[in-house]
Structure formats: C-alpha cells, structure tokens
Structure 1
Amino acid sequence: MTHPTTQPATRPIARHVLTGATSGIGAVLARTLAQRGDGLVLLARGEPSAAALAAGFPEAQVLLADLADPGTLNGIGRRVDGDVHSLIHVAGVVDLAPVSRLRLHEWEEQIAVNLTSPAVLTRELLPHLRRTRGTAMFVNSSAGLTANADWSAYAASKFGLRALADALRAEEIENGVRVTTVYPSRTATPMQEKVHEQEGRTYDSTRWISAETVVSTILHVLDLPPDATIPDVTVRPVTPRPGT
C-alpha cells in the first residue's frame, strides 16, 4: 500500500515596503528579506540610489521619494503594486548640536526625515495594511526613550515617532494592523560612524550591536503568528559600554 507523500509547508511570500535600504540596518534587512524570497518595495531619494537599488534588487519595485521633502510621498500608496504585508520605517538622519547652536535646517531635516515622512508614508500605506492585516514597524532608537545633551533634534524626532506609533496602534487595533516600535541601542552602521565623528570619538564597530542582530529582531516580529503582537522591543548590548 502506498501512502501519499506529505510536502513540507512553505512560508507564504510576504511583501514589504521599506525605507533606508541603501545603508546600515535597512540594507541588511532588504538583503535578508530578498534572500528568503519575500517581495520588496524600496524607496529611493534620487536617481542614483534608485539605480543602485534596482541593480541590487532586480525583483523589487523601486519608487522615488525624498523623505526630506514629505510632500513627495503624497499619493505614493497608489504607486505600490500588489499587496503589502508590512511597512518598515528604517531611514533616518542625525546631526548633533547643543540647543544653543542648533541650525534651523538641521532641525527641520531631522523632523522631516525621521518623523513627518513616516507619518505621511504610513497614512498612504494604511489601506494596504488593513487589507492584509499587516504590520507597521518603526525602527526608532534608544534616543526615542532618553534625550541626552547635543541630541535634542534627533531625540525630539524619535520621541515623536514613538508617539506616532503609539497613537497608530490604538487607532488600528480594530482593523487588525499590528504596530511595533524597535529601539536599537548604538548599532555598527555608517550613521554611527558619523555620530562618532561629530562627538570627536574613535569609532570601533566591535563595541556596538551589529545590524544583523537588529534585523533578526525585526524578522522575529514580522514572522509572529497572527494571534500575537510585540508593541515595543529594545535591543541593547549584553554588557553596558562606558560612555554610551
């Protein structure tokens, strides 16, 4: 008597809209999602970065949008092809300065890229996420929990991003949209190298969390069964480092 062969279950391919895929955490996340067969919609600031993303991710849909100019995001939801199972906000900018020497354009850029654009992009993608009962994920920062000297603009944008996520979570619970904020501590990325330069400190990537570690946390949240959600998760080094 022959028995039917049981085929192993395959994970349904999900589709993700992702900002910040050209560098750091976003680049590692995009590569990891593509390698496991997920679909990608990647946002690029200009033609050079769009061409680089298209070459690196030939199966992805690449859309032009300048996060420093949130108005470029108006209507972008209509340009996204197909279903969207998650919207992942990774892109960010940072410029350190005490309040006494804060430059208006640096304040405005950090608020625009780190807070206003995620708000507009989330509004645009909400119809997609409601249809799939998908996930909106905000990759925030430990600066979204504690504001230190010289970090006023960046921390203000990240505190605001935390508030945006909390309000969205309360608003969308009945629609089945899950909302998670990830708070990585200092992570070994080009942004962190820039921060060290601004702080006048020597950059040593081995002292910080790897981008791959943060990505593994993001994937854990994305792959949760539909009966659970993780509203907030903080990623810190096992051993606290002096001066962090």
Structure 2
Amino acid sequence: MNDSSQNPAPTSTSRPAVLITGANRGIGRAVAEDLARDHHLILGGRDEQALTQLAAQFPSAEVFVAELTDYAAVAAAVDALHLSAGLAGVVHSAGILANGTVEESAPEQWTESFEINVVAVAELTRVLLPALRRARGTVVMINSGSGINAVRTRGAYSASKFAMRGLADSLRAEERDNGVRVSSIHPGRVATDMQRQLRSFEGGEYQEENYLQPTSVAAAVGLALRLPEDASLESVSIRPR
C-alpha cells in the first residue's frame, strides 16, 4: 500500500528521490534525517501511522507501506510510486537480528534470516531497477561487521550478511554498465534498539557511549549517495572509534 497524500510526489519537486526501508527507527530514521535537506524521501516500513507522522516532519516526503516479504504487495506499492523521472537511490536499512549458534538455530531461523536480510532486499531492488537506471541511481545496502567477520553466536545472521555482501557484489558487477552504483555499508555496533536486544542476549550491559551513533552511519550513506558521478563508494567498514 502507498499513500503519497501528505507531501508532494517526487515528480513535483526538483529534489532527487530516495526510498529508505526501515525508515521509522534506528539507522533508517537517521538516514532519512540526513537526506531530508536535499532529497525527496520515500519512507518505507509497515506502520503507516508512524511513517505518516514522520513524513510530516520533512520538507518533501511520502510513505511506502509494505511487508517486504510480501512480494506482490511490494510490486504494487512500487507501481503506485511516481518514478517516471527515475529513482536517485534506495537505502536498504530494514533487517532482522538472529541470535544463536549453528547448533542452536532451527531451520526456520535460517529461512527467516535469509528471507528478510537477502531475498527481500534483492526483490525490492529488482523491481526498482528500471527507475534506478533512468536516474543513474545508487543502491545502498546497510550490512554489518558480521558480513565481514562471522560472529560465533550468530550463525544464521552472519551467514545472511555474507550473502547480502555477495548480493551487493553481484549487483554492482551487473549494473556497472547501466550506470547504477552499489554501496555496501558495514557498521560495527550501533546504538539502536537492535543493539539493546543483542546485549541482552549476550548478558552484558548496554553502554551507548561505546557504540556508533546512527547519525554516523547515516553520514556514510549520505556520502555514497552524494558522491560525484565519476565516483562510487563500493564498500566501507565503520567502527566505533
């Protein structure tokens, strides 16, 4: 489902349009706040009311409401967007954390991790490719440090993030001649609700001062989208200082 009644559609503004999944919290929200000054925002998520309230805070924004694993609904929501001028970017921020070793993880946990962290990302990107090609846009995948170095207690999560990294690499190779840039952002521990969940599982304290702020990750995303035409930020690892 899509509701663009709150703010002008991308075609009614000179701002480049960018779709952000998981836009109403954590890194996704920080990305929206960073890009709001020079982009038209398409705010993705499942909670229409929360997204509508968020969209009202920005100078140019609309909402994109869909369950990302309902592929028919995603295709319909994309069709409802005004993308005749193309799409300058898509930022894949939505994802799930799966805790547990390989021994502890049931098949359902593996299936869910790959469905949300990989398959849904690939399918949304696929249906957006025509619009991305028209605008010579940028695909940004918010990955994880676990997509570079596997974590002992998060087998399914680490595997899904390695797969997401492979997805980014494959897409980059496929789309280079079409002018679409693909950036893979690998943050370390970030001060979000997901980090609270992880620290609870680990039995440790949540110490926000030891983690990256979502705004720091958003700055890297903004760099990837705002780079001049001749450059592409292909992969970056961001760690707490």
Q: TM-score range by the shorter chain?
A: 0.7 to 0.9
1:105-156, CA deviations, whole angstroms, 9 ceiling, x for partnerless residues? Answer: 3322221111110000000100000000010111100000111212111111
**Normalization by structure 1: what TM-score?**
0.87
Contact 1:86-1:135 within 8 A present in 2 as well: yes
Unpaired runs of 5+ residues, structure 2, are 1-13
2:154 maps to 151
Contact 2:43-2:55 within 8 A present in 1 as well: no
What letter matches 1:88 in structure 2? V
1:42-84, CA deviations, whole angstroms, 9 ceiling, x for partnerless residues? Answer: 2222xxx111111111342212211344453234432221331
How many residues align? The count is 223
Closer, same or farther in 2 for the Cα pair 1:72/1:108, shift >3 Å? farther
SS at match of 2:152: coil
1:66 maps to 67
Contact 1:54-1:60 within 8 A present in 2 as well: no
Contact 1:75-1:124 within 8 A present in 2 as well: no
Contact 1:70-1:112 within 8 A present in 2 as well: no
What letter matches 1:149 in structure 2? R
What do you get for the CA RMSD once the two structures are aligned? 1.5
SS at match of 2:153: coil
Contact 2:15-2:38 within 8 A present in 1 as well: yes
* Alignment of structure 1 residues 185-224 onto 2, 5 Å: 185-224=188-227
**Normalization by structure 2: what TM-score?**
0.88
Q: Which has the larger radius of gyration?
A: 1
Q: Percent identity?
A: 37
1:168-199, CA deviations, whole angstroms, 9 ceiling, x for partnerless residues? Answer: 00101111001110111111111111100111
Closer, same or farther in 2 for the Cα pair 1:124/1:109, shift >3 Å? same
Separation (CA, whole Å) in 1 of partners of 2:103 and 2:70: 26
What letter matches 2:236 in structure 1? V
> Is residue 136 from structure 1 mapped to residue 134 from structure 2 by the alignment?
no
